[in-house]
């Protein structure tokens, strides 16, 4: 291997190849979300949601905290995970540092959805994710168009609230922009939107580890589909990468942390010992089409629908180039958070998203 980048490229390609031929046996048990939350003394509920396109999703709910158990008139809030993750990412640091528990203690009614194809949402009314390739024919476009609206409607139905607050991380930020563009009637159901490192405009993506893979992902995607029975990637019932990380936690903890930080960046606040315990939940599963869609937008320096090629685009979109999402129509309160050490969504990307949001009003220092 010539460099750390070569090591990562080798690992990713190995996992892609292995996932084509792997069986669905589970090499080790995963922490159970319900058992984990309950063990900490918090209430947790599970709710089932059906989307318009027949996917069946599971949503977890933490209706209140331990200190203040009054459930009436609590503001419902959605915590939407990023790609290859699940709701565990909002709980893995424990009661004092995890956003889900902190919000529950602050008086919020916390809802934790699971996007289609992830560990807790692998059901469909007619399709089997392990047998039907068509189950995996989705990107984050469908998650934004169908999953999030279904989740919002379920929460409003259960709580009686007219609006919900939304917090999304990475792809969780992407999909709310898709919802606002493709299902504008749902904007009135969102009181405010908070996005952390939203993967929307990726013009300045300059991750030296993954840049070459992104550039060649069109070829990788085509080859993968030609030999794979479906579009699943890092699917939740088995993952070589997850097994690789978890097996190394005791043997080579230093190497494990090195690989983790190459994919996720360095952090001064992450409790890595706590992260290790939740490695069996990561990656939580996705379709390879989600990765391909992000790669397309990075390479085209745009935020647009999936590119099927000129001929199929003409049939689907009535034009040879996929249409752009209407980000300028995001006319609701939105708060964007970023960090300078983010290796995927740098500050330049966040500033571009800021400029695209016409709904933002400028004001001076004294207005604060």
Question: 340: pLDDT confidence band, cut at 50, 70 and 90?
Answer: confident
The position carrying tokens 């003394």 is 41
pLDDT higher at 197 or 359:
197
For the chain, what's the residue count? 368
Over the stretch 18-64, which tens digit does the pLDDT of each residue have? 444 444 444 334 568 899 999 999 999 999 999 999 999 999 999 99
pLDDT score of 184 more than 50: yes
- Two structure tokens written together for 198: 């939203």
Instruction: Check whether 210 has a pLDDT greater than 60.
Output: yes
Give pLDDT tens digits for 110-162. 999 999 999 899 999 999 988 888 899 999 999 999 999 999 999 999 999 99
Segment 279-302, tens digit of pLDDT = 667 677 788 889 889 989 888 888
For residue 303, what are the contacts with CB-CB under 8 A and spacing of at least 6?
A: 177, 200, 201, 202, 297, 324, 325, 327
Domains for the chain: give ranges and CATH numbers.
Answer: 4-360 (3.40.50.1820)
How confident is the prediction for the chain on average, in pLDDT?
79
> Is the pLDDT reported for residue 180 higher than 80?
yes
The pTM (predicted TM-score) of the whole model is: 0.82
Q: Which of 192, 225, 200, 157 is nearest to 325 (CA)?
A: 200
Per-residue model confidence as pLDDT tens digits over 55-108: 999 999 999 999 877 767 899 999 999 988 889 889 988 898 899 999 999 999
Q: Rounded CA gap, 286 and 303, in Å?
A: 20
- Per-residue CA distances from 7 to 2, 14, 39, 153 (Å): 8, 11, 39, 44
**Nearest to 55, CA basis, from 109, 154, 2, 129:** 129
pLDDT of residue 68: 75
Which residue is associated with the tokens 């709910």? 61
């Amino acid at each position: 291997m010539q460099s750390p980048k070569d090591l990562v490229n080798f690992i990713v390609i190995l996992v892609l190849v292995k996932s084509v031929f792997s069986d669905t046996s589970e090499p080790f048990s995963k922490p159970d979300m319900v058992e984990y939350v309950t063990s900490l003394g918090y209430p947790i509920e599970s709710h089932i949601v059906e989307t318009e396109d027949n996917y069946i999703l599971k949503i977890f709910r933490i209706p209140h905290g331990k200190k203040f158990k009054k459930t009436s008139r609590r503001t419902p809030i959605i915590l939407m995970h990023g790609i290859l993750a699940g709701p565990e990412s909002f709980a893995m640091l424990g009661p004092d540092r995890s956003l889900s528990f902190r919000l529950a203690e602050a008086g919020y009614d916390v809802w934790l959805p699971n996007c289609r194809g992830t560990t807790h949402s692998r059901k469909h009314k007619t399709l089997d994710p392990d047998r039907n390739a068509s189950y995996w024919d989705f990107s984050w476009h469908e998650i934004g168009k169908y999953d999030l609206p279904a989740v919002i409607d379920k929460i409003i139905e259960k709580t009686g609230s007219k609006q919900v607050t939304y917090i999304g991380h990475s792809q969780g930020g992407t999909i709310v922009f898709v919802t606002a563009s493709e299902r504008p009637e749902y904007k009135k159901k969102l009181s405010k939107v908070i996005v952390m490192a939203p993967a929307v405009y990726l013009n300045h993506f300059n991750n030296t580890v993954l840049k070459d893979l992104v550039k060649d992902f069109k070829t990788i995607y085509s080859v993968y589909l030609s030999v794979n029975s479906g579009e699943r990637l890092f699917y939740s019932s088995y993952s070589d990468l997850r097994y690789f990380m978890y097996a190394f936690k005791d043997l080579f903890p230093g190497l494990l942390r090195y690989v983790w930080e190459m994919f996720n960046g360095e952090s001064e606040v992450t409790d890595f010992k706590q992260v290790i315990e939740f490695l069996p939940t990561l990656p939580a599963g996705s379709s390879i089409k989600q990765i391909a869609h992000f790669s397309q937008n990075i390479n085209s320096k745009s935020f647009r629908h999936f590119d099927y090629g000129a001929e199929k685009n003409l049939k689907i979109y009535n034009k040879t180039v996929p249409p752009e999402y209407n980000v300028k129509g995001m006319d609701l309160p939105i708060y964007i958070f970023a960090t300078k050490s983010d290796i995927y969504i740098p500050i330049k990307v966040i500033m571009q998203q800021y400029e695209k949001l016409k709904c933002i009003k400028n004001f001076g220092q004294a207005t604060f």
